[in-house]
Amino acid sequence: MPIHNTSFLDACRGQRPARTPVWLMRQAGRYLPEYRAIRKKVSFLELCRTPELAAEVTVQPVDRLGVDAAILFSDILVVFDAMGVAVEFNPGPQLPSPVRTNADIEALRWGDPGEDVGYVMNAVRACKSALADRVPLIGFCGAPFTTVSYLIEGGGSRDFLEVKKLMFCEPVMFGQLMANMSELLARYLIGQIDAGVDAVQIFDSWAGAVGPRDYETHVLPHTIALVEAVRAHTPAGRDPVPVILFARGNANTLALTARAPADVIGIDWSIELDAAIEVVGHDRVVQGNLDPGVLLGPPELIQSRVRATLADARAAKAHVFNLGHGISRFTDPEHAKLMVDTVHAGLSEGA
């Protein structure tokens, strides 16, 4: 069955649909009472590993907010199941045994995501069936650097000193780890595509942890390899799926990020969207970039900031409206709905 609402996929492919498509990073989650109700009964990992429940929370924001795309409910770190690396969520991720030494790295398994993380592929199928082609489904993974950062730091980090120690003291080993991760993530995303996702997003949430020179040398080549491997894959009987690359943290590295041949460049909220478009080029499709904190403000402010972002986006080839990072758990769902409705209302002629 063809998808009914194609505005998101049309924009990803460089067209300007009648209404600007919109979805929110982290749109399924703790700001929604219906999500909290399910989380009272099951742990986060059980939720990720139970396809019917993952599908239920994936559809929740589509029902409540009327967004133009759904994103698979999962986490960037479940891919560690293909590597024999344990991870706990309380609620942020924690690794009981972070990977730091040569011996740790040599002990890593580079498994088969289709099998070892088969519950994600089953969740994709359950989501597609629950969505019944109302809107497209986005699959995702972490970028090699963000994923490797969690592996080495063992959780979130302020200064990323363990990652930098390995990167600067053992650059060859670090490069090999990044290359292996990039290949694993490519197989993981291709598995999601073959299971049915309509687009994929690569989250480089910690790209801003390194300076531009180190980003260019140690990080970006592996991100580009991942984007290229995924874009080279054409699922049987379907069009190639668009790839969105979202690298957070540093407007200074945006020009470098834009070298990646992603169909859509995600923009974080640290730069105004018109300035970001100057950097990435008017021939690119952009996604973003309302500060998620704006949704904690009053309704009039939300509306005016949404309109300002829509006006800025006119300089791009096409635009997918989104936040400039994940929605805060303290957001009033009514404010998220107002954001979506204001995007859909668009700008009046000449505004």
| Known binding residues | 26-30, 75, 150, 205, 325
Residue 334, both tokens: 């009514």
Task: Indicate the residue among 76 and 245 with the shorter CB distance to ligand 1CP.
Answer: 76
Taking the C-alpha atoms of residue 218 and residue 95, their distance in angstroms, rounded to an integer, is: 23
Among residues 26, 64, 100, 307, the one annotated as catalytic is: 26
C-beta of 89: minimal distance to ligand 1CP in Å?
5
C-beta of 105: minimal distance to ligand 1CP in Å?
21
Residue closest to ligand 1CP, measured at CB: 92
Kindly tell me the burial class for residue 251, based on how many C-beta atoms sit within 10 Å of its own C-beta (0-12, 13-18, 19 or more).
Answer: middle
Among residues 75, 112, 133, 214, the one annotated as catalytic is: 75
Task: Name beta bridge partners: 320.
Answer: 287
Please say whether the dihedral angle defined by the alpha carbons of residues 6, 8, 10 and 12, taken in this order, is positive or negative.
negative
DSSP state of 22: B
C-beta of 292: minimal distance to ligand 1CP in Å?
10
Per the annotation, the verdict on 30 as an active-site residue is yes
Tell me the backbone φ, ψ of residue 330, rounded to 5 degrees: -95, 10
Task: Indicate the residue among 44 and 345 with the shorter CB distance to ligand 1CP.
Answer: 44
Per the annotation, the verdict on 75 as an active-site residue is yes
Per the annotation, the verdict on 213 as an active-site residue is no
Contacting residues toward ligand 1CP, per CB under 6 A: 25-30, 39, 44, 71, 73, 75-77, 89, 91-93, 140, 156, 203, 205, 326
Q: Show the CA angle centred on residue 58, arms to residues 53 and 64, nearest 5°.
A: 115
Task: Indicate the residue among 87 and 256 with the shorter CB distance to ligand 1CP.
Answer: 87
CA 6 to chain centre: 19
C-beta of 348: minimal distance to ligand 1CP in Å?
31
Angle between helices 333-345 and 51-65 (to 10 degrees): 60
C-beta of 344: minimal distance to ligand 1CP in Å?
20
Q: Are 243 and 227 in contact (CB under 8 A)?
A: yes
Residue 284, both tokens: 């690119």
C-beta of 25: minimal distance to ligand 1CP in Å?
6
Per the annotation, the verdict on 125 as an active-site residue is no
DSSP notation for 279-309: HH-TTSEEEEEE-GGGGGS-HHHHHHHHHHH
Among residues 39, 100, 305, 307, the one annotated as catalytic is: 39
Among residues 16, 19, 30, 305, the one annotated as catalytic is: 30
Kindly tell me the burial class for residue 328, based on how many C-beta atoms sit within 10 Å of its own C-beta (0-12, 13-18, 19 or more).
Answer: middle
Tell me the backbone φ, ψ of residue 318, rounded to 5 degrees: -155, 165
Taking the C-alpha atoms of residue 78 and residue 83, their distance in angstroms, rounded to an integer, is: 10
Residue 348, both tokens: 């009046």
Among residues 150, 215, 248, 263, the one annotated as catalytic is: 150
Q: Tell me whether the omega of the peptide bond preceding residue 91 falls within 30 degrees of 0, making it cis.
A: yes
Task: Indicate the residue among 29 and 333 with the shorter CB distance to ligand 1CP.
Answer: 29
Q: Are 255 and 279 in contact (CB under 8 A)?
A: yes
Binding positions for substrate: 26-30, 75, 150, 205, 325
Per the annotation, the verdict on 158 as an active-site residue is no
Task: Indicate the residue among 75 and 170 with the shorter CB distance to ligand 1CP.
Answer: 75
DSSP state of 58: H
Task: Indicate the residue among 127 and 285 with the shorter CB distance to ligand 1CP.
Answer: 127
Show which residues are catalytic: 26, 30, 39, 75, 150
